[in-house]
Amino acid sequence: MAEEISVEVAYALPQVQTLLTLTVPAGITAAEAVRRSGILEKHSEIDLSHAKLGIFGKHVKHDALLRDGDRVEIYRPLIADPKEVRRQRAAEGKAMKKGAGSVEAEASRD
């Protein structure tokens, strides 16, 4: 009998998290564990051909071999680019400081 390992497959939406535990043959890939877990049937929005996968928060390729106890995470696409959001916040902060400076200057004139 082939050696088996225990792994988890996780997928999270803003409202709900799905975490499935399964026993699979040793030497299985991350993508194959996702397929075998049944999560693709529960969450039809997952497109495994384009989905990014990770193990405990670290991005891995679909053909990454799993070890006993690994948790395969299926990542959703980003809605906004985090770098762009930070740039926008920084620009807003600079605009606020410039505006605040002129108010203080006017107050000191009174």
Alpha helices in 6-81, H assignment, sequence order: 30-37, 39-42
Find the DSSP H helices in 38-81.
39-42
Burial of 108 (0-12, 13-18, 19+ CB in 10 A): exposed
pLDDT at 26: 95
Domain limits, the chain: 4-75, 78-110
pLDDT at position 20 over 60: yes
| 3-state secondary structure at position 39 | helix
Higher pLDDT, 74 or 99: 74
What pLDDT is stored for residue 81 in this prediction? 72
* For residue 102, pLDDT beyond 60: no
CATH label, 4-75, candidates 3.10.20.90, 2.30.40.10, 3.90.1150.10, 3.40.710.10:
3.10.20.90
How far apart, in whole angstroms, are the C-alpha atoms of residue 109 and residue 19?
A: 63
pTM equals 0.70
pLDDT for 92 equals: 81
Residue 35 has pLDDT above 60, yes or no: yes
Residues 94-109 have a mean pLDDT of 56
